[in-house]
Amino acid sequence: MDLQLIMAAGIAVGTILLFAAIGEILAERAGVINLGVEGMMLIGAVAGYATAVSTSNPWLGVVVAMLAGGLLSLLHAIITITFRADQVVSGLALTFLGTGLARVLGEGLSNAGSISLLPRFSIPVLAHIPILGPIAFTEQSVLVYIGYLLVPTTWYWISHTRPGLNLRSVGEEPAAADALGVDVVATRYRYVVAGGLLAGLAGATITLAVQPGWFGALTVNGRGWIAVGLVIFASWSPFRAAIGAYLFGAVVQLTLAMQLPPTIFGLSNPFFDYHPNTFFLEMLPYALVLLALVAGSREAMRKRIGAPAALGIPYARGERGR
């Protein structure tokens, strides 16, 4: 097992979760839970892949994927912000719709042949940093590097800019924000759609960069839900989301790598000797999310940091939240 390779692959796989989690952070910071991440990622994955297959332009695929995810999230925005319906149920509906629609649109795509993927390259100077260089800056997809840039950008935007302040105020105290002249409805629309664009990008990251191909609903395989869990673990902070996403990616890659060698540290490998044992490895990432949530919520209780105060509550001027 080459740990460096595993970590590098973990970062690539983690980038998928990173985009989706950052998108969800933006929506939730505005006070809207969107549980439809899985569906938006699938739609993004299929739209990006289909575009790349038919135009052989992966960049166009990325754009279409983001638009598809954004369009789906717009539906959620209309239902939950304008119609003030339950955000949980609408998000579930979005997952059903996105999953079904993606499977309908993806019919026959699984044997579309090979496509040209997004470019991979090394960063000149950074690639020579010991340990970190080969893991993080060598032969990674361009989307991985975009992910690195997105984390500090989002953090700065949320914490240190005027629009970011408006975003937080809408998620914490919409009535006060409204009184100060912030357009609550428009702000929420904007960030829900931004979340959709990023979920679409996460889908494109799968099919156009990290794990190319279309495998129906298995293409995303529950990672949208893991991203939603990651947001809670990250206490709505982009940096913590990044740590969680990359760690999670590394663990997933590790569980895959552990199935291959006949021996590990000189001991016979139970996952090689008896194939059914590998199903316990498959459980591990999901169990890890549960553990992370337990740890995250304990810490949140201790430090008294919590979800945005207005999360999940529709806003209507002059009405008290439900």
Partner 1 sequence: MTAPGRRLPKGGGLPWTLRLEPRLAAPRWLSPALTAGALVLALAISAAILAIVGANPGKVFLHIVSSSLGSAGAISDTLVKSTPLILTGLACSLAFRMRLWNIGAEGQLLLGAWAASAVVLVPLVPAGAPAIVVLPAMLVAGFLGGALWGLIPGLLRTRFGVNEIIATLMLNSIAFAWIQYWVFGPWTEGGFQMSKRFSQEAWLPRLSDLAASIPALRGLTVHGGFLIALVAAGVVWLIVQRSAWGYEIRLIGDNSRAARYAGIRIARNVLLVFAVSGGLAGIAGMAEISGVVHRLQDNFSPGYGYTAIIVAYLAKFHPLRVVPVAILFGGLILAGREIQPSGVPAMIQGIILFCLIASEVFLRYRVGITRRMPAAAGHAGRRG
SS (H, E, C) 171-207: HHCHHHHHHCCCCHHHHHHHHHHHHHHHHHHHHHHHH
List 63, 85, 243, 247, residue binding partner 1 (CB under 8 A): 85
> Cα(163)–Cα(114) distance, rounded to whole angstroms?
42
Pick from 41, 64, 232, 251: which binds partner 1 (CB under 8 A)?
A: 232
- Nearest approach, Cβ of residue 62 and partner 1 (Å): 23
Q: Which of 183, 239, 260, 309 binds partner 1 (CB under 8 A)?
A: 183
Does residue 176 contact residue 160 with C-beta atoms inside 8 Å?
Answer: no
Which one, 75 or 151, has the nearer CB to partner 1? 75
CB-wise, 149 or 268, nearer to partner 1? 268
CB atoms closer than 10 angstroms to residue 117 = 16
In this complex, which beta carbon is closest to partner 1, that of residue 31 or of residue 229?
229
Torsion-angle region of 235 (φ positive above 0: left; ψ -120 to 50: alpha; else: beta)? left
267-268/140-141 β-pairing: unpaired
- Residues between 152 and 181 that touch partner 1 (CB under 8 A): 178
Looking only at Cα atoms, what is the longest distance across the chain? 69
Of positions 11, 37, 93, 144, contacts partner 1 by CB under 8 A: 93
Determine, following the binding rule CB under 8 A, whether residue 92 of this chain makes contact with partner 1. yes
Residue 248 token pair = 């999670």
* Least distance in angstroms from the C-beta of 266 to partner 1: 25
* Residue 228: burial class (beta carbons within 10 Å; 0-12, 13-18, 19+): buried
DSSP structural state of residue 216: T
Please report whether residue 98 would count as binding partner 1 according to CB under 8 A.
yes
Lay out the site mask for partner 1 across 267-296 (x = CB under 8 A, - = otherwise): -------xxxx-xx-xx--xx-xx--xx--
Would you tell me how many other CB atoms lie within 10 Å of the CB of residue 283?
10
- Residue 299 in contact with partner 1, rule: CB under 8 A: no
Which one among 11, 50, 75, 136 touches partner 1, defined by CB under 8 A? Answer: 75
Interface ranges with partner 1 (CB under 8 A): 35, 39, 75, 79, 82-86, 88-90, 92-107, 178, 183-186, 216, 222, 225-226, 228-229, 232, 274-277, 279-280, 282-283, 286-287, 289-290, 293-294, 297-298, 301, 316-319
